[in-house]
């Protein structure tokens, strides 16, 4: 049986061993020569470092309850605290928890929360941030934050689902991938660019692919429609300077595209003409022709064209 088919069989078994499946996927990534898949598997197994952006399925909601004391020995126990207030006064990272642990740690957390149905978070710092901002004239004595067990189960399911979808797409689009077995000399030729495209789309969702150098190097990024921060980061990653990326992003936010086929508005076109010299003098780490193409494709992605 080929490596890809072994992974598929493991995924659809009654009790799939996700750790073992990820190890096989890591081997498949090596056989395909895909750093993208290899990095995803590595992070899912060992955890996502702070500097690595998390997939959306690893951001889960948190619910809060608090205990408050007021005048004349009055008090409120286990009162729900609206997430909107927590986000407003303490920051969005409190209400949307980033689960960076490896899949084995998540498995343990799911097992540990089987009876209670939830996991508790340390909210001691949150007490200070919300003091006097929930109930007027009431002191906040305690806050508990919980993540539902089902949110962690959903992470497990997402990993399994994306892994299965990936193997199906590879088998359908690149038949040679289904011939890969443990011996590296076996199997047909593999189109590395097509592999990267399939993996990006399956694991990370829709993406825009742009060239960032004259040698045909590619950058695969997640869909950026309406996301100005993502647009700015995408331009910087492609070789546009940070200052220029910010300027263009502000302009793109302020105007509409000229037409469905022409993403740049009047201000953006003028900005491009005024700034292309930066590609010549080395301020941008990208050539003129590539810079023009990169900018247009990035802006098209922002506008959803």
DSSP string, 17-76: -HHHHHHHHHHHHHHHT-HHHHHHHHHHHH---TTSPPPGGGEEE-EEEEEEE-GGG-EE
pLDDT at 208: 46
pLDDT at 215: 41
pLDDT at 263: 81
Strand partners, 121: 145
Under DSSP, the state recorded for 74 is: -
* Distance (Å, whole) CA 158 – CA 125: 31
pLDDT at 205: 60
Q: Pull the structure tokens for residue 141.
A: 């004595």
* Distance (Å, whole) CA 228 – CA 232: 6
Query: Which are the contacts of 82, defined by CB distance < 8 A and separation ≥ 6?
Result: none
Average pLDDT along the chain, 305 residues, taken 10 residues at a time: 87 86 88 84 92 90 93 89 91 92 93 89 89 87 93 93 88 78 53 61 56 43 68 83 89 84 83 79 73 80 77
* Distance (Å, whole) CA 229 – CA 235: 10
Could you tell me how far CA 144 lies from the centroid of its own chain?
27
pLDDT at 194: 60
| 238 φ/ψ angles, rounded to the nearest 5 degrees | -80, -10
Strand partners, 143: 66
Positive/negative CA dihedral, 223, 226, 228, 231: positive
Q: Pull the structure tokens for residue 31.
A: 């056989």
Under DSSP, the state recorded for 115 is: T
* Distance (Å, whole) CA 73 – CA 148: 33
pLDDT at 182: 61
pLDDT at 178: 75
pLDDT at 31: 81
Helix (H, G, I), strand (E, B) or coil at 269: helix
pLDDT at 187: 45
**Extents of the domains making up the chain:** 207-303
CB 203 within 8 A of CB 162: yes
pLDDT at 209: 47
Q: Pull the structure tokens for residue 205.
A: 């969702």
């Amino acid at each position: 049986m080929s490596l890809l088919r072994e992974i598929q069989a493991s995924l659809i078994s009654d009790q799939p061993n996700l750790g073992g499946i990820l190890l096989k996927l890591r081997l498949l990534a090596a056989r395909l020569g895909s750093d993208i898949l290899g990095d995803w598997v590595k992070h899912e197994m060992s955890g996502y470092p702070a500097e690595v952006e998390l997939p959306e399925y690893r951001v889960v909601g948190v619910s809060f309850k608090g205990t408050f004391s007021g005048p004349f020995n009055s008090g409120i126990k286990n009162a729900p605290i609206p997430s909107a207030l927590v986000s407003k006064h303490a920051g969005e990272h409190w209400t949307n928890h980033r689960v960076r642990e490896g899949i084995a740690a998540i498995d343990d957390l799911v097992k540990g929360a089987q009876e209670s149905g939830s996991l508790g978070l340390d909210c001691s710092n949150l007490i200070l941030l919300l003091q006097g901002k929930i109930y007027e004239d009431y002191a906040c004595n305690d806050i508990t934050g919980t993540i539902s067990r089902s949110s962690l189960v959903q992470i497990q399911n997402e990993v399994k689902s994306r892994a299965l979808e990936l193997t199906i797409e590879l088998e359908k689009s690149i038949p040679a991938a289904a011939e890969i077995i443990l011996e590296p000399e076996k199997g047909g030729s593999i189109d590395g660019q097509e592999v990267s495209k399939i993996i990006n789309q399956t694991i990370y969702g829709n993406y825009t692919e742009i060239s960032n150098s004259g040698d045909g190097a590619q950058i695969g990024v997640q869909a950026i429609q309406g996301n100005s921060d993502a647009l700015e980061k995408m331009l910087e990653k492609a070789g546009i300077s940070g200052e220029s990326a910010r300027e263009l992003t502000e302009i793109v936010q302020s105007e509409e595209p000229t037409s469905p086929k022409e993403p740049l508005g009047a201000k953006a076109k003028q900005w491009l003409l005024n700034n292309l010299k930066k590609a010549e003098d080395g301020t941008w780490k990208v050539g003129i022709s590539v810079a023009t193409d990169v900018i247009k494709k990035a802006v098209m992605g922002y506008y959803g064209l």
